[in-house]
Amino acid sequence: MHPPTHFLFAFLLGEVFVKFNLLSHELALIAGIIGLLIDLDHYIYYIIVHKNFSLKGAWNAAVVHHEHERTFIHHESGFLLVTIFILLLSIFRLDWFLVVAIGYYSHVFLDYAHLNIFNIRKIIKEKEGGFVIRYPLYELIFGILILLGLVLLLL
């Protein structure tokens, strides 16, 4: 999934918790930002492997699937370590426990779930300022559904 989808999905889940008075709108927004920031590991991986800080190079390598390796945070050992951190956080701050849990677990869910249930194969391809954009149509549809959910929650 692309960064905007990770942000929107985590933000939507955070807003559900707002409805139950467990989070504020600000914390729901932070959950969305955390869901987005998890993908910084792709950029860090690119820097380590290529010894190059090019954001465009890292983006294009990930988008055209030349490099789709994930760091430990996306694998079992990282999942366990983050889960321990999140559980420890729950001892001190329930609200921040929820924020970090929503951001991280929603991100992992989207990365590993196969959400293209209607098998939509169309991919929208563009190039903007040297950045390669490849967006699956099913992900755009999913993003629109998330936005509709957010609108309904925020009414």
pLDDT tens-digit readout, 99-145: 999 999 999 999 888 888 888 999 999 999 989 888 899 999 999 99
Tokens of 56: 């465009």
Query: Is the full-model pTM beyond 0.75?
Result: yes
Identify which of 25, 7, 5 has the alpha carbon closest to the alpha carbon of residue 17: 25
Give the tens place of pLDDT for each residue, 1-39. 899 999 999 999 999 999 999 999 999 999 999 999 998
Residue 62: band (very low, low, confident or very high) from pLDDT cuts 50, 70, 90: confident
- Is residue 22 within 8 Å of 95, Cβ to Cβ? yes
Summarised one tens digit per residue, pLDDT across range 75-110 is 899 999 999 999 999 999 999 999 999 999 999 999
